[in-house]
Amino acid sequence: MGLELIQRYFSDFTDQQIDQFRQLDKLYRDWNSKINVISRKDIDNLYSRHVLHSLSIAAFTSFIPGTQIMDLGTGGGFPGIPLAIFFPEVQFHLIDSTRKKIMVVQEITDALQLQNVRTSHIRVEENREKYDFVVSRAVAPLAQLVQWSIPRISKKDKNAIPNGLIALKGGSIDKEIKSLPRGSYVEKERIQQFFPEPEFEDKYLIYTPLS
């Protein structure tokens, strides 16, 4: 199931956005045959396990035009690329320390003509820029993500929710939440409440404000 799965939950797309979402299948299949950026067994589930999963952030909150977002450890481009299609007036910076993955992400971004995305082959510790939000998907333990994100979050809030970290996590997340500093505010959302698909049974969206 491909584009129709996305349109089951989101319908207000321009023709350009529909075309960009549709192109993802061919682009990722082509690149995955050369460089393994997605698990081979997962490529047939691209739209459910990767694209829709990324868009759970769009189901959780919206971003005003001009918002600056860093995708920390973007890997194959998730959640950054689907979010960049969804929010064409939001600026995304996709970073990863693996050169070949960033190369693929840049090629896919160019093919989709995404004007609101830039990519960098860089370690997060080396990045000195400021953002409204950091997003991340299955990169590191929550406490590590928070530590990396704090210096990179702008103190000036302009969206409906305060600036901070939005992480997509799976499995037993409560232990990771308890490892955060005492008094940390954390929202834990089951992704199945947004998308009642079997793939998301043990998947969560974690939001913690850091501004």
Distance CA 48, CA 1 (A): 8
CB atoms within 10 A of CB 65: 10
Q: Residue 108 maps to which CATH number?
A: 3.40.50.150
Which DSSP state fits 177? Answer: H
Distance CA 82, CA 63 (A): 14
Q: What residues does 117 pair with on adjacent strands?
A: 92
Among 79, 45, 66, which Cα is nearest to 206's?
Answer: 79
Q: In total, how many domains does the chain have?
A: 1
79 prior amide bond cis, ω within 30: yes
Task: Using alpha carbons only, give the angle 131, 69, 52 rounded to the nearest 5 degrees.
Answer: 155
pLDDT digits over 62-93, tens only? 999 999 999 999 999 999 999 999 999 999 99
Distance CA 32, CA 209 (A): 35
How do the pLDDT tens digits run along the chain, 211 residues long? 789 999 999 999 999 999 999 999 999 999 998 888 888 778 889 999 999 999 999 999 999 999 999 999 999 999 999 999 999 999 999 999 999 999 999 999 999 999 999 999 999 999 999 999 999 998 899 999 999 999 999 999 999 999 999 999 998 899 999 999 888 999 999 999 999 999 999 999 999 999 8
Among 172, 188, 95, 175, which Cα is nearest to 143's?
Answer: 175
Where in the sequence is the domain holding 30, given as residue range(s)?
Answer: 3-209
